Amino acid sequence: MKQNSTLEKNAPLVATSLSLLLAVVKLSVGIMSGSVALLASAMDSIMDMFVSIFNYLALKISDKKPTDEFSYGYGKIEAIVATLEGLLVFGSGLFIIYEAIKKFFNKEIVTHIDLSIYVMVFSLIVVFGIVSFLSYVVKKSNNLVIKGDLLHYKTDLYSNSAVLLSLVIIYFTKWFWVDIVFGFVIGAYIIKESIELIKEGVEVLLDVSLEKEEVEKIKHIIRTTKGISDFHFLKTRHAGKFKFVEVHIVLEDENISLHDAHTIADRIESAIKTIDHEANWHIMIHLDPVDDSQSHKY
């Protein structure tokens, strides 16, 4: 658990350092060559650099322990950051499309193609390394902020490949309009991917339920626990590393002792926590001697 936490905290710093290197190189050559696709890739790297810094700060805040003022912790800061990142990526996609359209009407051509190709090959190698590293961190932590970072660099990987392909085509054919087409396509792809990240962040902010598979496991645990006749008002949500479960269970024995009823609830709680050992579970079980689901509205 401690190793995963260290990975999460260091991941944005590693990404920031490499993004700064890529941004400086691509922006310099992009301005020299006039390639809208290369400039678009440079803008994306600059944005990724600042977003990674923001992610680092967000992870530090979300990892804080609950306080009297924020008794449920700071987990939702990850969803806020992911939503903001998605909006930023969406904006960068629109900017790239705008630049492509402007270049089309101005009839600009690309220069320094050889140097641009070398830069993009170097960029692809670096970004592939970042994506591999962040993918490993996401598998270990399932952190929403790192997922946002990974999205940025995946779009970088695809967009860099597209930029390189467009430069190679221009080098051999002198079809300068290819740069405009690829710039437009990259912008559209980035917009599509950003919408998914925005959707995921907003869902967490709106207290979306846990994954369907996890909810079904929770239901199975409750149904198969001895001493339970039924359950109702099951509610789940998550925020960062925290997962929340609320449920009313109906006890078979109306006259059961408080000690025995509490033991049953403990068994359910312990079993639910085995679903995800990495999560911080907050489970609240209401004990009902009779089914009162019809007398309450939730």
CATH of the domain at 152: 1.20.1510.10
Query: What tokens were used for 233?
Result: 């008002």
Query: What tokens were used for 63?
Result: 């990892």
What is the mean predicted confidence (pLDDT) over 37-61? Answer: 73
Domain membership of residue 266 (yes or no) is: yes
Shared domain for 6 and 62, answered yes or no, is yes
Domain membership of residue 296 (yes or no) is: no
pLDDT digits (tens, 9 = 90+) for 80-108: 887 887 888 788 788 878 877 887 787 76
Predicted confidence band of residue 50 (pLDDT cuts 50, 70, 90): confident
Query: What tokens were used for 162?
Result: 């597209």
- Sign of the CA dihedral with 231 first, then 235, 241, and 242 last: negative
Shared domain for 218 and 190, answered yes or no, is no
User: Strand 228-239 to strand 242-251: parallel, antiparallel, or no bridges (unpaired)?
Assistant: antiparallel
Shared domain for 120 and 158, answered yes or no, is yes
Total count of residues recorded for the chain: 298
Distance (Å, whole) CA 9 – CA 291: 46
Q: What pLDDT shows up at residue 2?
A: 45
Beta strands in the chain (DSSP E): 228-239, 242-251, 280-288
Give me the number of domains the chain comprises: 2
Distance (Å, whole) CA 138 – CA 55: 14
pLDDT digits (tens, 9 = 90+) for 230-289: 999 999 998 877 899 999 999 999 899 999 999 999 999 999 999 998 788 999 999 998
Predicted confidence band of residue 9 (pLDDT cuts 50, 70, 90): low
What is the mean predicted confidence (pLDDT) over 203-221? Answer: 94
Percentage, residues of the chain above pLDDT 70: 92
pLDDT digits (tens, 9 = 90+) for 117-155: 888 898 889 889 888 888 888 887 767 677 777 877 787
Q: Centre a 10 Å sphere on the Cβ of residue 149 and count the other Cβ atoms it contains.
A: 30
Query: What tokens were used for 187?
Result: 């912008």
Q: What pLDDT shows up at residue 111?
A: 74
Report whether 127 contacts 41 (CB < 8 A): no
- Sign of the CA dihedral with 186 first, then 192, 194, and 197 last: negative
Query: Domain span at residue 81?
Result: 2-205
CATH number at residue 243: 3.30.70.1350
| Closest to 60 (Cα-Cα) out of 1, 12, 132 | 12
Shared domain for 172 and 222, answered yes or no, is no
Shared domain for 184 and 233, answered yes or no, is no
β partners of residue 238: 243
More confident residue, 109 or 135: 135
Distance (Å, whole) CA 65 – CA 3: 18
